[in-house]
Amino acid sequence: MFERFSRSWSLVKASAGVLSQDKELLVFPLVASLASMIVVAGFVLPMIGLGAFDGLDQAAQGNADPVLIAWAFAFYVAQYFVMFFFQSALVGAAMIRLQGGDPTVADGFRIAFSRIGPILGYALIAATVGMLLRAIQERAGAIGRWVAGLIGVAWTVATYMVVPILVTREVGPLEAVQESARLLKRSWGENVIGQAGIGLVFGVLTFVLVLSGGALIAGAVATQSTALIAIAVVGTVFAVIAVALVHTALSGIYAAALYRHATGEPPAPGFDPRLLEGAFAPK
């Protein structure tokens, strides 16, 4: 177990080395965040204006307006599409670097646009799964939430390599999901531990930043200086955003590296061949 964790963490550090060479990869999660906020505004503001949120209580009781359900599904699809599109751009650019090239932001977007159909199909699948899990949570009480949580975790792990598959192969979304689940048998340890490791490190870092920022803001408030308060608040917000962008970028690079080596591709620059051979040895 400890050997597997060490191996996974080494792969994460190698992914960080890729990001240090191509800092422009941070553009993709940044634009994705902005696009996601636009989608939220585009769907939520009309609902507020029309008073549609009043029907959410009925939704929890299984008496939701079909129009509200369709609107919620469309929101899920739009959010997932934005997320997968920019993930595809990030992973596509990372793949170029892992193959020894020098990617640009334009390269990433070109790759994502070339696969826009399968990406939309995958967004539809993910939205359907998300809606079904939400229905289970709302209608089956505590047990339903527990079951939905387990299914959600299993789905996340099993589909971790769908985006790299869509980026590198001419396959449809269903085939990509099946292939991702198959590859999980070879890389499940690095998949789960790597994701958990990245999440833990950045979760702790974000927690420390929030605490530190809170202390700085409290100190600024004590001085009663508007300028210092503004600087403390803006600095804290930007620090948290920066950490979130790096987290997302590293996750994409890590997924690309896992996929390459799970499928037998030659070791990428910066990734120890012996490390990768051990990571994907037959079980």
Cβ burial of 159 (10 Å; 0-12, 13-18, 19+) is buried
Residue 62 · residue 139 · CB < 8 Å: yes
Neighbours of 267 (CB within 10 A): 17
Q: Is residue 14 part of a domain?
A: no
Q: Is residue 226 part of a domain?
A: yes
DSSP string, 198-214: HHHHHHHHHHHHHHHHH
Dihedral sign for Cα atoms in the order 23, 26, 28, 30:
negative
pLDDT at 13: 76
Q: Is residue 15 part of a domain?
A: no
Q: Is residue 9 part of a domain?
A: no
pLDDT digits (tens, 9 = 90+) for 15-70: 788 888 888 899 999 999 999 999 988 888 777 665 555 555 555 455 566 777 78
Mean pLDDT calculated for residue range 67-88:
90
Helix, strand, or coil (residue 75)? helix
Neighbours of 171 (CB within 10 A): 16
Q: Which domain holds residue 224?
A: 20-279
pLDDT over threshold 50, residue 73: yes
Q: What does pLDDT average to over the chain?
A: 81
Q: What is the C-alpha to C-alpha distance for residues 276 and 270, in angstroms, rounded to an integer?
A: 11
Neighbours of 180 (CB within 10 A): 22
Q: Is residue 156 part of a domain?
A: yes
Residue owning tokens 């960080």: 16
Give the CA distances from residue 30 to residues 26, 55, 113, 204, 247, in Å, rounded to whole numbers and listed in that order. 6, 33, 18, 21, 11
Q: What angle do CA 163, 169, 170 make, to 5 degrees?
A: 110
pLDDT over threshold 90, residue 271: no
Q: Is residue 89 part of a domain?
A: yes
In percent, the amount of the chain with pLDDT more than 70 equals 77
DSSP string, 130-168: HHHHHHHHHHSHHHHHHHHHHHHHHHHHHTTTHHHHHHH
Q: Is residue 1 part of a domain?
A: no
Tokens of 203: 């979760």
Backbone angle region of 280, left / alpha / beta, with phi > 0 → left and psi within -120 to 50 → alpha = alpha
Residue 30 · residue 245 · CB < 8 Å: yes
Quote the crossing angle between the two packed helices 66-98 and 2-21, to the nearest 10°.
Answer: 80
pLDDT over threshold 80, residue 283: no
Q: Is residue 11 part of a domain?
A: no
Cβ burial of 90 (10 Å; 0-12, 13-18, 19+) is buried
Q: What is the C-alpha to C-alpha distance for residues 33 and 82, in angstroms, rounded to an integer?
A: 9
Quick one: which of 189, 192, 161, 190 has its CA closest to 263? 161
pLDDT digits (tens, 9 = 90+) for 121-174: 999 999 999 888 888 877 767 777 787 888 888 888 788 889 999 999 999 999
Lowest-confidence segment of 114-118, 190-194, 268-272 by average pLDDT: 190-194
Tokens of 163: 């985006």
Query: What is the tally of structural domains in the chain?
Result: 1
Confidence of residue 279 (pLDDT cuts 50, 70, 90): very low
